Amino acid sequence: MNLTLSFGDKIKKIKQEGCVHVFGVNVESDNLKEATAAALVRLQAVVTIPGFRTGKVPLAMIKAQFPSMVKDEVLDLTAKAAMPEILKADKVMPVVTPIMRNVAYEPDKKLYFEVQLECNPQVDPKGYEKIAAVRRAKKVTDEDVSKYIGQVRDYNAYLKPVEDGKPVEKTHFVIVNYESYENGVKIAGADVNGEIVDMSSPQTIAGLAENIVGARKGETREFGSSFGDKKMSFKATVAEIKEKVVPAIDENFLKEAGVKTEEELRANVRKLLERNETEKTEKDLLTQIEDSLIKSNPMQLPPTLVREEAHELFEILKKKVSSDEEVHEEAFMARLKPVAERNLSLTYLLHNIARKESITATETELNAELEKVTARLNTEEEKKKARELFENRKDYIMSSIVENKTMDFVKSKAVIREESK
């Protein structure tokens, strides 16, 4: 059972910076003695001293031999007793665990401490109706369609050997073996075999491509190159000469694409590109609306929640990075903090707009979301896990539905000007 104390005017608000509130608490001697007595009784139930059974150690002995434990218990009891009065008097609600600081304690005489609370920002959303935005739509052209098909063909290109006796050309891919020399002396362990050289691209060794142009398979070319102050020379032998073959838009290519004619292929590609452009356009429109909401409703956020959100973003980022790559959280915090602040600001704004406009989520909408998820799953086991997830995270999912509905509401009220790219 928590200790009940009367603080009267001994609790005072010291300062407020944004969402951070600090209260000073003075515990009078009578209250302190009462808290100390309660702390000793608590400790008596757990403290053991040779010669006494647990629960039978004299309170005076506990007080004398375990002063730090007594202090901790007194602080815990008085802080818990003070918290309801702090919340009631200032009408604040902490979003993270309160912090006790600046403790001044003299047993049985005086106790002073400060309580730091981080609370939700007080938001009265404004400027969310008639937001000016531009829908910048891009029309997909025949050239865009041709370019995309060209990229697909290029992606599916392959290399094949050139005709016997044909020399290296600037459009070829050449497999070379080479030896490295410094001041005429061969560098031990520097031989390279089987390096693929794209003759149309820059090379790590300056002059390599230029010096093997015109060479035939098996031919060796010698040339010099500079690496800073070092004068290097190389012997490069052409092992293979290959040319890039881009597949034609023939029957096989169309079959792989799941169509029968080139016209059908182009129509499908156009639909794909138009869908992608629509998604990009709507995403850009949504970003404009979000930016306007944040600009019209500046707010200070609970610092701990910002750090926690940034940490979650980092964990997501870390999963996308190769397991071999070492990633340090501190190095990313400066870049992730603005993203975290944006996410939290939008969350607070959308939920306060929802409250103002009486936008809620229903069980029917929740079930509809679940049906969408289970429809994409194959096995009953997967569907069962999805249902369990929805049940365990029901509040979070309902909250997300409210956010999406609220953004749709704000978007429906926006003044959108159509513009072609």
Rounded to whole angstroms, the Cα distance separating 134 from 417 reads 5
Lowest mean pLDDT among 121-135, 215-229, 287-301, 343-357: 215-229
Rounded to whole angstroms, the Cα distance separating 156 from 138 reads 28
Return the pLDDT at 320: 80
Average pLDDT over the chain reads 91
198 CB contacts (<8 Å, ≥6 apart)? 173
Phi and psi of 131, rounded to 5°?
A: -70, 130
Rounded to whole angstroms, the Cα distance separating 61 from 82 reads 28
Return the pLDDT at 6: 73
pLDDT digits over 223-262, tens only?
A: 988 777 778 899 999 999 999 999 999 999 999 999 999 9
Query: DSSP for 91-128?
Result: T--BSS--EEEEEEEETTTEEEEEEEEEB-------S-
Rounded to whole angstroms, the Cα distance separating 224 from 233 reads 4
pLDDT of 364 strictly over 70: yes
What does the domain layout of the chain look like in residue ranges? 11-118, 158-245, 277-420
Burial class (CB in 10 A: 0-12, 13-18, 19+), 383: middle
- The yes-or-no answer to whether 11-118 and 158-245 have a common fold is no
Instruction: Return the CATH fold of 277-420.
Output: Trigger factor, domain 2 (1.10.3120)
pLDDT digits over 142-197, tens only?
A: 999 999 999 999 999 999 999 999 999 999 999 999 999 988 889 999 899 999 99
Entry pTM: 0.76
pLDDT digits over 75-130, tens only?
A: 999 999 989 888 887 777 899 999 999 999 999 889 999 999 999 998 999 999 99
Domain 11-118 has CATH 3.30.70.1050: yes
Return the pLDDT at 2: 63
Report, as an integer, the average pLDDT of 309-329: 82
Rounded to whole angstroms, the Cα distance separating 183 from 178 reads 16
Architecture of the domain spanning 158-245: Roll (3.10)
Measured on CA atoms in the order 10, 77, 74, 16, is the torsion positive or negative? negative
Contact between residue 19 and residue 119 where contact means Cβ atoms under 8 Å apart: yes
Return the pLDDT at 57: 87
Report percent pLDDT > 70 for the chain: 98
